[in-house]
């Protein structure tokens, strides 16, 4: 996503743009300094980088699948406070945050969810918990009087060519013979969003972020606007790469209960040895519940419309992984 954003803004006239992405996330999460020193170190580094910059895209975050609470706190919360302070001190005018639609998800069904849903009181994981804090920080920092405008983009289920997360993990699971089962009845609709549509949403947000705009200090769902059964999406990717689609059904409640039991066991055993279950309650919930979101607000305020269809996005994604095909 960072690369696509860079390509879009390189030719933008009269706008200097800074994109915070994986490099910031890696540094902030892996340099071990006392909190105050870490904060001051990156504040000064960002202040230097943001001189004469008018627009910042804050895309940095560890991978959602990580179970490292401290890493999420350092990057998504502490790091974001640093970004906000640096933007204000450097005179940056606009800050566009890559948030997540999961900030309202608690592991139960969401159908056509709108942005006015409350934040999750029981977030499903550390990633979601810190993304909630991050979004509150960014939207709360919006100040029209002082000329600092913010907006949050909430994508869901991002996928695309050469992404190191979804497809490689899916293929690895299939190669180990663990993609034979469907959790639940397989009818649960979910939003997946092709990366180019996510970038398109960010660009529209940046273009519409003005003092007289209704988008200031607000969040916007950005998806492909084509909810699809979760297991149909997984099957299309797997079959496209030459693997068998899952076909045996397992009761959702049974699998969720077992996942919860294993997770509790891993917590109890953590002081003695590392035990990390493959299926966590969070992963089971994501695979077995409805979670798709309305893009109506983005359509009305940003003029958003997906630029790449789900079918085309899946085809492009599958074609980008020749080395992951069955038998390769």
Q: How far apart are CA 136 and CA 138, in angstroms?
A: 6
Residues 53, 18, 129: CA angle, nearest 5 degrees: 120
What are residue 183's phi and psi, to 5 degrees?
-85, 120
**What residue ranges in the chain does DSSP mark as E strands?**
17-20, 55-58, 94-98, 110-113, 149-155, 158-159, 181-183, 189-190, 193-194, 219-222, 228-229, 248-250, 291-293
Strands 55-58 and 181-183: unpaired
Q: In what order do the strands lie in the sheet with 55-58?
A: 17-20, 55-58, 94-98, 149-155, 219-222
Buried b (16+ CB within 10 A) or exposed e, 109-135: ebeebebeeebbeebbbbbbbbbbbbb
Given 127, 252, 256, 321, the catalytic residue: 127
DSSP per-residue codes, 177-224: T--SEEESSS--EE--EEHHHHHHHHHHHHHH--TT-TTTT-EEEE--
Task: Report CA torsion sign: 131, 194, 288, 268.
Answer: negative
A 10 A CB-CB count for 146 gives 9
Is 127 annotated in the active site? yes
Please name the residues in contact with 5: beta carbons below 8 A apart, sequence gap of 6 or more. Answer: 19, 57, 59, 199, 202, 203
Active-site residue set: 127
């Amino acid at each position: 996503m960072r690369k696509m954003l860079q390509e879009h803004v390189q030719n933008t006239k009269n706008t200097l743009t800074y994109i915070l992405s994986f490099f910031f996330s890696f540094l902030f999460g892996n340099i071990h300094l006392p909190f105050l020193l870490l904060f001051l170190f990156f504040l000064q580094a960002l202040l230097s980088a943001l001189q004469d910059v008018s627009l910042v895209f804050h895309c940095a975050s560890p991978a959602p699948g990580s179970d490292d609470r401290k890493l999420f706190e350092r990057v998504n919360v502490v790091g974001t406070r640093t970004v906000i302070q640096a933007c204000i001190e450097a005179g940056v005018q606009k800050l566009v945050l890559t948030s997540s639609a999961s900030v309202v998800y608690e592991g139960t069904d969401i159908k056509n969810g709108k942005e006015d849903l409350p934040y999750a009181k029981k977030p499903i994981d550390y990633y979601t918990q810190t993304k909630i804090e991050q979004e509150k920080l960014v939207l709360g920092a919006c100040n029209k009087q002082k000329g600092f405008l913010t907006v949050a983009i909430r994508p869901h289920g991002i996928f695309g060519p050469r992404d190191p997360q979804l497809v490689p993990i899916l293929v690895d699971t299939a190669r180990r013979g663990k993609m034979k089962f469907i959790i639940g009845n397989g009818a649960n609709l979910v939003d997946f969003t092709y990366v180019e549509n996510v970038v398109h949403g960010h660009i529209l947000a940046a273009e519409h972020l003005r003092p007289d705009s209704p988008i200031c200090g607000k969040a916007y769902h950005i998806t492909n606007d084509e909810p699809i059964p979760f297991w149909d999406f997984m099957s299309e990717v797997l079959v496209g790469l030459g693997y068998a689609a899952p076909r045996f059904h397992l009761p959702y409640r049974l699998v969720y209960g077992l996942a919860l039991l294993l997770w509790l066991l891993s917590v109890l055993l953590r002081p003695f040895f590392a035990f990390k279950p493959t299926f966590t309650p969070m992963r089971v919930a994501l695979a077995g519940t409805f979670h798709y979101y309305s893009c109506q607000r983005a359509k009305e305020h940003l003029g958003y419309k997906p630029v790449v269809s789900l079918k085309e996005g899946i085809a492009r994604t599958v074609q980008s992984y020749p080395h992951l095909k069955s038998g390769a």
